[in-house]
Amino acid sequence: MILETIDWIIITAFLLLSLFIGLKYKNKASGNITDFFLGGRNLPWHIAGISMVATTFAADTPLAVTELVAKNGISANWVWWNFLIGGMLTTFFFANLWRRANVLTELELIELRYSGRAASLLRGFKSIYLGLFMNVLIIGWVNVAMVSILQVFFDIPESTAFWYMIIVMIIAMIYSSLSGLLGVAITDTVQFVIAITGCIILAVIIVNTKEIGGIEGLKSKLPDGALNFLPQIGNSESNTFATLTISIGAFFSFAAIQWWASWYPGAEPGGGGYIAQRMMSTKNEKDAVFATLFFQIAHYCLRPWPWIIVGLCSLILYPDLTDKKLGFVMAMKDYLPSGLKGLLFVAFLAAYMSTISTQLNWGASYLVNDLYKRFIRRNKNKDVQQEEKHLVNVSRYFTIIIMIVGAFVTTMIHSISAVWEFIMECGAGLGLVLILRWYWWRINAWSEITATLAPFVGYIIGHYILESTTGKWFTENRGSFIFTVLFTSVSWILVTFLTKPTKKEKLESFYLLVKPDGNWSPFKHLIQKKSSNLKNLTICWLSAITLTYSILFATGKIIFLEFVDAFYFGLSAIISFITLRYFLIRTNIFNN
């Protein structure tokens, strides 16, 4: 056993603290399902924002970044860095609209925005598709990563590690089912501080080992191109280690398509999932915008550098390691002293539990509010208070059910990357509908139904027909993904114009409530609005993207002692911040 008594004390204290928070906020989550799933719509922006960051900081993310960096250098992170563009779009064009809609879940918006049986069909289908099917896939891949960590860290068989994971999962289920979103968000805040602190400590210790010799030693021992921040575009056959070389087609898909076209957990175009849940849980529209802005900056600027440093070091420390992602855990195991081993293990527990607790709470919200309450619960209690308590109890039962199904699905997942690819492509092309439903009145329920189902058809055609007949070129250029986006887009656009619009009364009520910009010309006479915000919001969006990438690169340049480049990136960040602040003040997104 590699852990000492002090390590076990730290681990036990953390688990007890998580349970204590669940018990502490139990009563505040028991009044009604708004309290249970949205914390009473009273979260301050910093708690909601940190909770978003903590949820996306799962047990698998440090391992995934370590694997990316160990194989292809820093530039490999553009696989996920490109999502910032869509994330900032959500911040300025959608966060305040989600809060203003005053819905309990993302799926409740469907029947607020669309009319008829198609709307109810879509809401019911998505409650199961997202709340259970997609949710347990996410829980499964996070569990698989945690099992791998336990295996390596404790040097135990996979079967034993699985049951250790189940114990931790049950603890996360207990406090999330007791305290609802409020307890999850408070626990997330504590867990994020522990997780990021632990990763920073690990990075500092590893880079200063005698094998590495500090930052200068690290730079001198890495292959050429390992520290490149941008990928090389060209022929992948010329690729050498750590110089990520991608084809023009692949670069185009990342830079120009993926961020708006693809549905992906935590990066849904227009917001959605637990990101929308956190926006809807804030005190007001201003807090919703600031929470999402904080999330985007912290997600891309604060978290990745400790993981990147450890990934680069693991390349030197474990050059023959077959499974590159395990270099992070190996470094923890081999180089940390007693006490710090326990702290770093707690960091992984914190990252794991924050994700699992959110997935359980978020998934239960769909199954309760959008399936059970909407379609199954027929004999409602006339006493409103008793009915709400009943729904809270049902929410706790669904939380347990999702945990059990998630644990079962874990046993069936053998490749995390395969699940990632499947989810990415089976949402390819859906994103534009999720964006335009707020800004174009003509989008209807059949548009979204088509955009939800068409990617599966495109996926089958792309992978089993086109990929097999076109060969290597198609695969290297992400041909299947691009084809699926085009197939889905053409499909839902055709369906939109071949079907009837949403009923006028429904569109009028939605427009009066949400007051969106964009193409709502048939309804603009209903309210007296100030001039359109779109120009100012676009400048805010672009300046915030520049700000975040500038901070990200400036931080990296400081770490690698390249101070001239850091100065220019820092200057870019300052100019972008001033621009963002000026144009954000000029918008009226907080007082429509």
In a domain, 311, yes or no: yes
In a domain, 469, yes or no: no
Does residue 535 register a pLDDT over 70? yes
In a domain, 451, yes or no: no
The confidence band for 469, taking pLDDT boundaries of 50, 70 and 90, is: confident
Poorest-pLDDT segment among 218-222, 360-364, 417-421: 417-421
396 and 365 Cβ atoms separated by less than 8 Å:
no
Does residue 238 register a pLDDT over 50? no
The confidence band for 26, taking pLDDT boundaries of 50, 70 and 90, is: confident
pLDDT (0 to 100) of residue 254: 65
Does residue 234 register a pLDDT over 80? no
Q: 318: buried, middle or exposed (CB in 10 Å: 19+, 13-18, 0-12)?
A: middle
Count of the separate structural domains present in the chain = 2
The b/e string for 420-429 (b: 16+ C-beta within 10 A; e otherwise) is: beebbbbbbb
The confidence band for 111, taking pLDDT boundaries of 50, 70 and 90, is: very high
**Does 534 lie in the same domain as 401?**
no
The span from the CA of 81 to the CA of 556, in Å, is: 14
pLDDT (0 to 100) of residue 307: 93
Does residue 462 register a pLDDT over 90? no
The confidence band for 242, taking pLDDT boundaries of 50, 70 and 90, is: very low
The span from the CA of 65 to the CA of 45, in Å, is: 28
In a domain, 72, yes or no: yes
The two three-digit tokens of residue 147, written as one number? 């099992």
The span from the CA of 75 to the CA of 63, in Å, is: 16
pLDDT (0 to 100) of residue 383: 81
In a domain, 428, yes or no: no
pLDDT (0 to 100) of residue 239: 46
Q: What is the mean pLDDT of residues 201-230?
A: 91
SS (H, E, C) 452-518: HHHHHHHHHHHHHHHHHHHCHHHHHCCHHHHHHHHHHHHHHHHHHHHCCCCCHHHHHHHHHHHCCCC
Q: What is the mean pLDDT of residues 394-399?
A: 95
Does residue 427 register a pLDDT over 90? no
In a domain, 525, yes or no: no
Helices (H) and strands (E) in the chain, counts: 29, 2
What stretch of H or E contains 530?
none
The b/e string for 12-29 (b: 16+ C-beta within 10 A; e otherwise) is: eebbebbeebbeebbebb
CA torsion sign for 345, 347, 349, 352 is negative
Poorest-pLDDT segment among 17-21, 167-171, 286-290, 505-509: 17-21
**Domain extent at residue 29:** 5-376+385-410
Cα dihedral 418, 357, 259, 261 in deg (nearest 10): 70
Q: For the chain, what percent of residues have pLDDT higher than 90?
A: 55
**Is residue 440 classed as helix, strand or coil in its secondary structure?**
strand
| pLDDT greater at residue 82 or residue 368 | 368
Does residue 143 register a pLDDT over 50? yes
The span from the CA of 19 to the CA of 12, in Å, is: 11
| pLDDT greater at residue 231 or residue 73 | 73
For the chain, state the CA radius of gyration: 24
In a domain, 79, yes or no: yes
Q: What is the mean pLDDT of residues 157-163?
A: 92
Contacts 24+ apart (CB under 8 A), 215-218: 215/559, 215/560, 215/561, 216/561, 218/309, 218/312, 218/313, 218/316
Q: What crossing angle do the helices spanning 304-317 and 158-207 adopt, rounded to 10°?
A: 100
In a domain, 482, yes or no: no
The confidence band for 339, taking pLDDT boundaries of 50, 70 and 90, is: confident
Neighbour tally for 559: CB within 10 Å: 17
Domain with residue 65: its CATH number is: 1.20.1730.10
Q: What is the mean pLDDT of residues 262-288?
A: 89
Tokens 């390691």, located at residue:
321
**Does 188 lie in the same domain as 40?**
yes
The two three-digit tokens of residue 134, written as one number? 């997609």
SS3 content of the chain, % helix, strand, coil (to 5): 75, 0, 20
Q: Output the DSSP codes for 550-588.
A: HHHHHHHHHHTT-HHHHHHHHHHHHHHHHHHHHHHHH--
Q: What is the mean pLDDT of residues 254-277?
A: 83
Task: Please name which of 405, 312, 398, 310 lies closest in space to residue 362, comparing C-alpha atoms.
Answer: 398
